[in-house]
């Protein structure tokens, strides 16, 4: 099918095998569609095999539904995108009985989310992504995952951004191309291969992103924001859960929103075992000014204008802020001189 409509309500099966279907709202089941039934059972299915589905909202109808209701988008191929260039797309179910919405991934695909520039496609509450397939993010905007996931196929971010604020299963590997971005505060329990930008947390916020394994290519950029000392709440962090499954590469960029006291530490990476590889560069911006770190055996350091030294150890994933070594040495020498004077005074009495 192909065409444009306002708010279609699907109470049985709708097939799209090409063309463009453009709808401000797609509704799966509604009490208003059945007369004399207070708790209807819907087997509502949208089969998307090719073509483009453009919408502002995809969800379930109002009212009370039988728990046996089944609402599904069977996605074997084609594109899901925003209704227009100024409207976000929300794909949501409801929390009541029979109110969930399933996005079932199967077949050869490809299945592509194509978010518009500056816009979002959110697979949100009371939704389940299931099936043996995976999907592609290929558009200048952002795809946000907050609902349940149980799919086993691969996830590829070819362009734009993918924010994971849920749990992705261990069978769903994620590949991020150069120029694309991966972020969020959820868990990706599988392998992540990163050639693009890794930026934990939500846009404008902080977070901890947990990954099964992480391999950073030479083109990759790791961007971490630091605004406080509360891990995941006021500074970004990355946890790698599998043993010795972190490979450094590319560049690390730190953005500071404050200046911190001496001997403050930040657990930028949670590491299980021994990491491999090394960053090609480490830089900082923000409250400490523009800093370029130097590497000495996997320990990166830079001197700030306020006399502090910032060090990042690749082996532990820790960033530390310490007094300038000359100031520490001066303090030690002063203490030593004072002790010598006291000793001489005792000897003279």
Could you tell me which of 264, 261, 185, 256 has the C-alpha nearest to residue 227?
256
Q: Are 156 and 175 in contact (CB under 8 A)?
A: yes
Q: Which residues have C-beta within 8 Å of that of residue 32, sequence separation ≥ 6?
A: 9, 61, 62, 63
Could you tell me which of 241, 228, 134, 118 has the C-alpha nearest to residue 186?
241
Tens of pLDDT, residue by residue over 118-147, are: 999 999 988 999 999 999 999 999 999 999
HEC-encoded secondary structure of 154-166: CEEEEEEEEEECC
Q: Are 200 and 219 in contact (CB under 8 A)?
A: no
The count of other CB atoms within 10 Å of the CB of residue 278 is 15
Q: Domain ranges in the chain?
A: 1-153, 206-349
Three-state secondary-structure class, residue 333: helix
Q: Are 89 and 122 in contact (CB under 8 A)?
A: yes
Please give the helix or strand (H or E) that residue 256 lies within, else none: strand 251-256
Phi-psi domain of 282 (left: phi exceeds 0; alpha: psi -120 through 50; beta: other): beta
Q: Are 277 and 308 in contact (CB under 8 A)?
A: no
Q: Are 48 and 14 in contact (CB under 8 A)?
A: no
Please enumerate, as own/partner, the contacts of 132-136 that have beta carbons within 8 Å and a separation of 24 or more. 132/105, 132/106, 133/75, 133/76, 133/105, 133/106, 133/107, 133/109, 134/105, 134/109, 134/172, 135/75, 135/105, 135/109, 135/111, 136/109, 136/110, 136/111, 136/112
Q: Is the peptide bond before 110 cis (omega within 30 degrees of 0)?
A: yes
Predicted confidence at residue 101, as pLDDT, reads 87
Tens of pLDDT, residue by residue over 56-67, are: 999 886 655 555
Buried b / exposed e along 292-302 (16+ C-beta atoms within 10 A):
ebeeeeeebbb
Residue by residue, pLDDT tens for the chain (349 residues) are 455 556 666 667 889 999 999 998 888 765 444 434 444 445 678 899 999 999 999 988 665 555 555 678 999 999 999 999 999 999 998 655 545 789 999 998 899 999 999 999 999 988 999 999 999 999 999 999 999 999 999 999 999 999 999 999 988 899 999 999 999 999 999 999 999 999 999 777 999 999 999 999 999 999 999 999 999 999 999 999 999 999 999 999 999 999 999 999 999 999 999 999 999 999 999 999 999 999 999 999 999 999 999 999 999 999 999 997 654 444 444 444 344 334 444 444 5
Rounded CA separation 291/309 (Å): 11
């Amino acid at each position: 099918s192909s065409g444009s409509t306002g708010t279609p309500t699907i109470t049985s099966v709708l097939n799209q095998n090409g063309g463009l279907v453009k709808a401000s709202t797609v509704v799966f089941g509604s009490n208003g569609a059945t007369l004399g039934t207070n708790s209807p059972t819907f087997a509502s299915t949208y089969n998307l095999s090719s073509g483009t589905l453009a919408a502002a909202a995809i969800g379930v109808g109002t009212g009370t539904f039988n728990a046996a209701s089944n609402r599904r988008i069977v996605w074997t191929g084609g594109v899901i995108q925003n209704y227009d260039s100024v409207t976000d797309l929300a794909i949501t179910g409801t929390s009541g009985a029979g109110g969930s919405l399933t996005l079932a991934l199967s077949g050869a695909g490809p299945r592509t989310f194509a978010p518009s520039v500056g816009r979002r496609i959110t697979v949100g509450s009371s939704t389940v992504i299931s099936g043996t397939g995976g999907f592609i993010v290929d558009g200048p905007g952002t795809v946000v995952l907050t609902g349940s996931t149980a799919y086993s196929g691969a996830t590829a971010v070819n362009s734009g951004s993918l924010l994971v604020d849920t749990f992705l299963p261990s069978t769903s590997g994620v590949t991020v191309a150069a120029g694309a971005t991966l972020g969020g505060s959820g868990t990706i329990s599988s392998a992540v291969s990163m050639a693009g930008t890794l930026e934990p947390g939500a846009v404008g916020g902080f977070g901890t992103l947990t990954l099964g394994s992480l391999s950073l290519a030479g083109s990759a950029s790791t961007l971490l924001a630091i605004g406080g000392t509360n891990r995941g709440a006021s500074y970004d962090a990355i946890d790698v859960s599998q043993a010795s499954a972190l490979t450094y590469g590319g560049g690390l960029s730190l953005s500071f929103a404050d200046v911190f006291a001496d001997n403050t530490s930040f657990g930028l990476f949670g590491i299980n075992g021994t990491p491999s590889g090394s960053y090609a560069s480490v830089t900082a911006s923000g409250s400490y000014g523009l800093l370029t770190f130097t590497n000495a055996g996997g320990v990166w350091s830079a001197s700030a204008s306020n006399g502090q030294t910032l060090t990042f150890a690749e082996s532990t994933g820790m960033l530390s802020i310490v007094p300038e070594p000359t100031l520490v040495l001066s303090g030690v020498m002063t203490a030593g001189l004072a002790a010598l004077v006291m000793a001489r005074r005792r000897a003279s009495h």
